[in-house]
Amino acid sequence: MSAYPGQEGLRDPLKVARGMGASRSGVRPWWLQRVTAVALVPLSIWFLFLMGGVLHADYPTVLGTIAQPVHAIFLIAFVVCLFWHGALGLQVIIEDYVHTRWLALTLQIALRFGALLGALAGTMAILAVWLTGASYY
């Protein structure tokens, strides 16, 4: 059927020669980047207003603000989307500019650890304030 070894149908034999080709899952991060972006449009505007109100407030007011269920829930959504979207963006930046294999791989793994840790830290902190902070106000 094909004139080239390793070629099946219309597929480029280079794919086989290099041992790599489309992973067939490339659309997923692209979509997730857009979906988190859509979520971050209202969330980041809301977060700007929340920050503006909280930075000049005293500590108990800050805890009381975070501990309001609506604030806590939206904050968790914001933090998760923020780190997810940021990680997807940094992933593409590393793919584009870091061409040393071991360094790219190290950075990609470090990025995933960092993003997960950041999202986890933020989420746990919000939960801690939400679930224990009611006594402060």
Partner 1 sequence: MPNSRPTSPHLGIYRWRVNMLQSTLHRLTGLFLCLGALLVAWGLVAAATSDAAWSRFVAFCGSWIGLVLLFLWTWSLLFHLVNGIQHLMRDAGVNYGPANRDRTHDPVYWSAGWAITAISVVLTVLVWVLLLVQAGGGAA
Nearest approach, Cβ of residue 24 and partner 1 (Å): 21
Binding string to partner 1 for residues 28 to 67, with x set by CB under 8 A, is what? ------x--xx-xx--xx--x---x--xxxxx--xx--x-
Judged by CB, which is closer to partner 1: 13, or 122? 122
Does 103 contact partner 1 by CB under 8 A?
A: no
Backbone φ and ψ of 95, nearest 5°: -60, -35
Does 118 contact partner 1 by CB under 8 A?
A: yes
Q: Looking at 1-9, 21-29, 85-93, 102-110, which segment touches partner 1 (CB under 8 A)?
A: 85-93
Residues 6+ apart with CB under 8 A from 134: 67
Nearest approach, Cβ of residue 90 and partner 1 (Å): 6
Does 110 contact partner 1 by CB under 8 A?
A: no
Residues 6+ apart with CB under 8 A from 46: 74, 78
Does 122 contact partner 1 by CB under 8 A?
A: yes
Does 86 contact partner 1 by CB under 8 A?
A: yes
